[in-house]
A and B are shown apart, each in its own frame.
Chain A
Amino acid sequence: MANLKDLSKQKELFTGGHRACAGCGAVIVARQVLAVAGPNTVVTNATGCLEVVSTIFPYTAWNVPFIHSAFENAAATISGVEALYKSWVRQGKYNKKVNFIAFGGDGGTYDIGLQALSGAAERGHNILYVCYSNEAYMNTGIQRSGATPKGADTTTAPVGKIKKGKEQFRKNLTEIMVAHDIPYVAQSVVGNWRDLTSKVEKALSMEGPKFINVLQPCRLGWSYKPELTCEMGRLAADCCVWPLYEVVNGQYKITYKPKEKKALSEWINAQGRFRHLLKPENKSMLDEMQAKTDKLWEGLLKKEASA
C-alpha cells in the first residue's frame, strides 16, 4: 500500500496549469488515481469538467496517453483501446502491462453514459472506471443529474415558489454496478486520500471491469468556500450520506465507519444548495432525507455482516 511520502515523490502525471476552479475536487481525483496507476496507463475521459479544464488545445495536463471522444462513451472508448491492447498482445506485437482507466462525471456515467458502462462491464473488459460524482451536470452550469440528491437546488430542478429542488432520490449507481457482478466495486470520496488510493491500488491489481464511484464536492455547484473541499468530502463520510465501502466479488466491506455518525443536518447546513431545507416548512423533507440516509447505511451494515 502506497504511503503519502512515496506518492508525493512520483512524477506528476496530471500537471498543474489546468483551468479548474479553485477548490475543484475532480482534479484531485485525477491526480491521486494517476499517482497510484503510474505512467503505464491509458486514460479516456467523458466530456465534462475534468476533460474540459485539462485539455484546452494546445495544452494538456495529462502526462499519460489520453483520449476524449464524446460525452456518453468513455466506457466504450476505453473498451476499444483495451481491445486493441489484447489484440496486439495476442499477436506478439506488444508486451508491456498497461492500466486502462476511464474517467466520467456523474453526468457522463449515471445518465447518458450508463449504457456504455453497462456494456463494458458485461463484456468483461480489463478496465477501471472512475466516476467523479459532483451530483449535477456541473460543466454546463449545475443542471440536475440522476446523481443529484433529493432536495438539492440545481438550475433545472430549482427551488422556486412551488418546487423545493430535486424531487427524486438519486440513483444508486454503485449498487447497479454491484449487480453487474464485476470483480470490484467501491465508493470513495475526495478528502480521504488513503481510502481512494488504496481502492485504486486494489482495483488495478485485479483483472476485469472495476468501478469506483468517488463523491467529489464542487464548491461552485454546492456553494461552499473553495478551501473546504476535502473537509466536505470527509463530512459526507461522517454523516454516512456517502458511505465508503467496497464490494469484492460480491462481499461487502465498509472501509470507513465514523466514530460518531453525524446528523444529516450538518451536511445540509454546510452547503448553499440545501439552504432552503433549513426552513421550518421543509422539515418533513429533511426528515425524509435523514430516514433514507439511515436506511441505506443500515442496509450496508447488514450486507457487510452477512458476508
Chain B
Amino acid sequence: MKNLSVLYCGILAVLIAPWCGLILASNVQYGGLQPGATEDGDPVYPKPASGIAEQGRQVYIEMGCVYCHTQQPRPASAEVMLVQTVKTKEGPKIEPVFLSPDIARAWAKRGAVARDYIYQSRPLLGFMRIGPDLADVGAHPIAAADSDWLYLHLYDPQIKSPGSVMPPFRFLFTLQKIGDQPTPAALKLPDSEPLRAPAGYEIVPTGRAKALVAYLRSLNMDYELPEVAYP
C-alpha cells in the first residue's frame, strides 16, 4: 500500500462514477419528462393537482404518512403464480393463475412509471407497506362511493377497518357546538364509536383534514400513458 495517488484517484472515481452513472444519467433520461398522450390529440396526463390538494400533500408529508403507505403500485410484470381451483366439465381442477397482486387488489389499474410523478414537488414513493398503497386511492371503489369514508377513517381507523394499526388522527378534527343547523361536514360517527361528541356538539374536520382528504382524492392513476397501458 505504497502508491497513495492510486488511493486518492480511486476515492475520486467512487465519488463521481455512481453519481454520474445513476443520478445524472437518470436526470438526463427522465428528469425532464413532460405530460404525454397515448395518441395524438388525446388529452395529456398527468394533470397538476389543485391548490387544496397541494396543501393536503404538505399535511401528508408532515404526518409522516410515507412511513406506512407507499405510492408505487407495481406493474403487471410483477406477477405471481397462485394456485386456483377452476370448475371444468370434468370436475374441479387445480390451475395456476398469474396475477399482479397490486392490480388484483384494486390498488391501481396499472404499474406506476416515472411520468406519473412529474408534477409532484416531492414524490412520496415510500419504502414500507404497513398500510395499503395509496397511489390510486382517489379512484378506489370504496373511497369513491362513500364521501365520508376517508374522514371517518382518519378520525378513528377502527370504524371502517377494525383491526387496523393506523394511528387515529383525531387532532385533525375539532369539537364545536352545533349552531342553528348542524354543519354538513360534521362526522356521522357510528354508535359503537367510543369518542363521540356530547349532546349539542359535533365533530368537524379542520382545514388540514379537508386538505388531506382532498389530496387523497386527487391521487389517481386513472389514465394511460404512452409508455404504459392497462394490462
A and B pair up: no
Contact residues of A with B, CB < 8 Å?
Answer: none
Contact residues of B with A, CB < 8 Å?
Answer: none
